[in-house]
Amino acid sequence: MLSRPRPCFFALLLCVAPAVATAGALPNSNSVTTQPEARPVSRVGANHWTVAYGNAAMGLSAFTAPDGSGTMEFVAQQAGSVVAQHTLQTVVDTRPYDTFSFWAQASATHVGDFVTLVDSNGRKRWYSLLLWGPRGWQKPTYWIDSYAGQESGFDSSAVAKIRFGQAGQRPADVLRYSAVTFEHNVVSHGDALASWYPDVGSATFSIVRDGAAGSPTSVKAEVVANAHGQADVAINLLPARIVWDWSGKSFLTFYFKDSETTASHYFLIYDKTLNYRQWVFSNPVPGEWMRVTANLADSYFDSAPVDLSHIVYFEVGVFGGNPGATYTFQVDEVAAY
């Protein structure tokens, strides 16, 4: 039997032919984008930063962020708002990403302002930014599609600049910012203490050099349970809360480590009206990292219908334990995908 030749579909475009071979590589398909994964989109340095509004002295800071990255420093010279502008090395298409984050520190707490994405035509999309002086280094993580407002025609495929505003500054107040990173799915890398708060019970937090899945650090919480044996901690607990849009996501995942096998473990998400969705989980590997994954469409208990497009905080801990006992656990790499 004669063998049949393998069919060649779309012959004019895809089959090897001299005209195609000499034309160079084909561009992306219309729906395809290609970008480097998770890195700062510009360098920290005077040639990438300016004072867009207000009166402030600007320079490279002697203080680095907790992960060792460089920061720019802005010192207010008179009372009023200070807006720092970060010009990106290249125009960035943000559509393939879910989140952006940066390190920030303020010497004092005032009335807050906005962080603003500016497209190549000067149109803006902005997000609430409140820097708490006593919290030290903060790492706000914003869901790109959950914004406070935007101008008509804002082009998310062509972001050219980022502005960081803080109102009510007084002479000698200091603001520091790192470069910005765009990422997929990320809620927390377990590297920023200022994101975490005790919710039930009293807690102390630390960053430890013991991360999950190859990450360098995680958040360690030592929590004293309340009178009912419940102890938990939360990201983004206090107002003004950042809003996360998980409406297009299917799963919530994080890494967890503790040695507790008697008390029950649980985690929750809350929407902007503080309706919550709760799950419970066991600990099959005491003292070792485990990955916990939940289907966002399923739960152990809902207090009311939850709006996944407006999630405001994540909480994890134990219940049914010993009243007043101290529970120690670590959390890392919280994400929704």
pTM: 0.86
pLDDT, residue 38, reads: 54
Find how far residue 103's CA is from the centre of its chain.
11
On whether both 206 and 169 belong to a single domain, the answer is no
If asked whether residues 129 and 140 sit together in one domain, one would say: yes
Question: Are residues 173 and 194 part of one domain?
Answer: no
* Residue 240 DSSP one-character state: S
Give the total residue count for the chain. Answer: 337
Q: In this structure, is residue 25 part of a structural domain?
A: no
Cβ-contact 124, 130 below 8 angstroms: no
Asked if the structure places residue 30 within a domain, the reply is no
In a domain, 100, yes or no: yes
Q: What is the pLDDT of residues 264-317, one digit of tens each?
A: 999 999 999 999 999 999 999 999 999 999 999 999 999 999 999 999 999 999
The token pair at 3 is 């063998």
Give how many domains the chain has, as a whole number: 2
pLDDT band for 29, please (50, 70, 90 cuts): confident
φ and ψ at residue 186, rounded to 5 degrees: -75, 135
CATH number, domain of 110, equals: 2.60.120.260
4 within domain boundaries = no
86 and 153 in one domain?
yes
Residue 307: closest CA among 244, 226, 224: 244
Helices (H), the chain: 11-14, 18-21
Q: Do 95 and 113 contact (CB within 8 A), yes or no?
A: no
Query: Of 184, 210, 245, which residue is a domain's last?
Result: 184
Report how far Cα 58 is from the mean position of its chain's Cα atoms. Answer: 26
Is the CB of residue 227 less than 8 Å from the CB of residue 323?
yes
User: Quick one: 248 and 267 in the same domain?
Assistant: yes
Same domain, 196 and 302: yes
260 falls within a domain: yes
pLDDT in tens, 181-221: 999 999 999 999 999 999 999 999 999 999 999 999 999 99
Region of poorest pLDDT, from 36-40, 131-135, 166-170, 179-183: 36-40
- My answer on whether 123 and 208 are in the same domain is no
Domain boundary among 184, 204, 224: 184
Do 172 and 288 lie in one domain? The reply is no
If asked whether residues 245 and 290 sit together in one domain, one would say yes
Domain, as residue range, for 127: 46-184
Among residues 161, 184, 207, the one where a domain terminates is: 184
